Amino acid sequence: MIIVVRQDGSDKLKELESMLTSQGLEVHKVIGEEYTILGLVGDTRNLNVDVISANEIVYKILHVQEPYKRANSMFHPTPTSITVADREIGPGTFTVIAGPCSVESEEQIVTIAKKVKAAGATFLRGGAYKPRTSPYSFQGLGLEGLELLKIARQETGLPIVSEIMSTEMIDRFVEDVDIIQVGARNMQHFELLKELGKIRKPILLKKGLSATIEEWLMSAEYIMAGGNTEIILCERGIRTFEKYTRNTLDLSAIPIIKKRSHLPVVVDPSHATGLSYLVRPLARAALAVGADGVMIEVHNRPEQALCDGKQSIKPDDFDGIMEELKPMAGLMGRSL
């Protein structure tokens, strides 16, 4: 860490230096014309940056290292593969998670599950609880939705991914689902993250719609700090001024994650854009850019879906996407 201090106030500077050395840090001082630079050597993790930056002689604090540790590739250079029900998620594979936005009925979820399995999907997604902007919109089937997902799993063998909404649901989700999804709006629901750190179940952590890549990795760090290290990151677009799409999918985030972290990362083109005709080209681009998988919304009757039908594709289109992805996965050195 580097602390830039103003030239005036030498007493305050002495106080600051002795505080820093008392914490076991070496302080190297470079005296410039307008500012003095303090270069700190040692473990600065426990330093309270807020306290230091509030010091009136401090002009700027410059961070040399990334603030995440367990999620950081520097301390864990080998890419992590996560195994869920005998399926590997990570380098060498391309995971396809498919299914409807929300579970609506047994017939619906089982039909879709069979279709996406036949096309080659390896996980089934489906929402039992739905975060909706309006209190007047369909909120999901709740516990009944989880039961229906379990039936679909039994019928197809596909492990299931579903979104958790609050801490009270954790026990039930650990029991029922194979991967617990944390939605974009909950990426900084820190109480939830802490509790998920205590369990042993893979977490699919979506990027918040206004989160930076660093904040996203810090949210993974929250869960990992608790001991649960099986995190799959999921890019799903950020909020920008562009109006054609619901959000702007940031595919640059994938190679950045690959460089900065060891965690696997997948892409959700359906929620990112909100437009079904963009799913196919963006699924191809996700594979080409180096993602470990995609999550795609598939509904047998999009025009009757109880939520987000506009972004859902039909099973036939899903077949087409899978056909396009297969040869490209070969080029990328991934099995599909």
Residue 22 interacts with its own copies (CB under 8 A): yes or no? no
Beta-carbon neighbour count of residue 7 at 10 Å?
Answer: 14
Residue 33 makes contact with its own copies by CB under 8 A: yes
Q: What is the DSSP letter of 31?
A: E
Q: Which is nearer to its own copies, 200 or 243 (CB)?
A: 243
Residues within window 1-20 making contact with its own copies, judged by CB under 8 A:
2, 4
Q: Is 9 left (phi over 0), alpha (psi -120 to 50) or beta?
A: left
CA atoms within 13 A on the CB side of 183: 17
CB closer to its own copies, 178 vs 221: 221
Whether residue 116 contacts residue 298, with contact meaning beta carbons closer than 8 Å, is answered with: yes
Could you tell me the CA-to-CA distances from 19 to 29, 57, 113, 151, 318 in Å, in that order? 15, 14, 60, 60, 60
Q: Is residue 290 within the footprint of its own copies (CB under 8 A)?
A: yes
Per the DSSP assignment, residues forming a β-bridge with 134 are none
Provide the minimum distance between the beta carbon of 192 and its own copies in the complex, in angstroms, as a whole number. Answer: 7
Tell me: does residue 143 bind its own copies (CB under 8 A). Answer: no
Does position 331 interact with its own copies (CB under 8 A)? The reply is yes
Q: Note whether 144 binds its own copies by CB under 8 A.
A: no
Could you say which of 90, 100, 159, 302 contacts its own copies (CB under 8 A)?
A: 302
Closer of 27 and 151 to its own copies (Cβ)? 27
The Cα 72–Cα 90 span in angstroms is 16
Instruction: Decide whether 154 or 212 has the Cβ nearer to its own copies.
Output: 212
Q: Is 333 one of the binding residues for its own copies (CB under 8 A)?
A: no
318: alpha, beta or left? (left if phi > 0; alpha if psi -120 to 50): alpha
Binder among 278, 295, 296, 321 for its own copies (CB under 8 A): 278
316 binds its own copies (CB under 8 A): no
Residues 199-258, interacting with its own copies (CB under 8 A): 208-210, 212-215, 218, 221-222, 225-226, 238-245, 248-256
Collapse the DSSP code of 244 into the 3-class scheme (helix H, G, I; strand E, B; otherwise coil) and give the result: coil
Which CA distances in Å does 284 have to 8, 21, 254, 314?
A: 57, 53, 14, 17
Q: Which two tokens stand for residue 304?
A: 């009757």
**Dihedral angle, C-alpha 80, 84, 85, 91, nearest 10 °:** -40
Give residue for tokens 């380098």.
Answer: 91
CB of 322 vs its own copies, minimal distance in Å: 14
Closest to its own copies by CB, 14 or 60: 60
Q: Please tell me whether residue 40 adopts helix, strand or coil conformation.
A: strand
Task: Give the rounded distance of the alpha carbon of 77 from its chain centre.
Answer: 19
- Residues 85-114 contacting its own copies, CB under 8 A: none
Q: Give the binding-site size for its own copies (rule: CB under 8 A).
A: 108
CB of 47 to its own copies, least distance (A): 10
For residue 125, the SS3 value is strand
What is the footprint of its own copies within residues 50-89 (CB under 8 A)? 50-51, 53-56, 59-60, 62, 64-65, 67, 74
Mask for 167-206, x = binds its own copies (CB under 8 A): xx----------------xx-xxxxxxx------------
